[in-house]
Amino acid sequence: MTLTPKIAFIKASWHADIVDQAYTGFTDQLNADNAGYEVTSFTVPGAFEMPLLAKRLAKKGYDAVVAAALVVDGGIYRHDFVAAAVVDGLMSAQLETDVPMFSVSLTPHHFHANAEHVEFYTGHFVKKGAEAAQAVQQVLSLEI
């Protein structure tokens, strides 16, 4: 690991107004903890594109990769297929590169873009982003 840990934060742009809140929660928590990490954000079209970028960023020298997405049932295909592919892809990428990967991807069964759901998931992504920041710090502090 570098002296100043480099963290890549990947955000899927579907429902960006909600998903971007994970980045806010993540960086706010790191700042509150005085972590001193260098965080760079990257945006991809959707969740399905996250594992490949995560693997490439790990190979470029990032010490950890965080990936955030809101994978919803759009009625055309089953969202659980996409969610499983993303988590499996991130797991494979971290095992192949030896760089820890963290998922802040939520897959609600019944998401509707109404005010109540948008408000709930916006707040939930802030919380999940903060939890990811704590997890990154814990994993990177391990002496192995």
Annotation marks residue 78 as catalytic: yes
Q: Can you read off the two tokens belonging to residue 80? A: 């659980």
Residue 31 parent element (H or E) = helix 16-32
Q: Can you read off the two tokens belonging to residue 40? A: 């760079």
Tens-place pLDDT, residues 16-50: 788 888 999 999 999 999 999 999 999 999 888 99
Radius of gyration of the chain (CA): 15
With 0.95 as the threshold, say if the pTM is over it: no
The answer to whether 18 and 123 are in contact (CB under 8 A) is no
Q: At what angle do helices 16-32 and 115-140 cross, to 10 degrees?
A: 40
C-alpha span between 105 and 83 (Å, rounded): 8
- For the chain, domains (ranges, CATH) are 6-140 (3.40.50.960)
Catalytic residue among 78, 112, 113, 119: 78
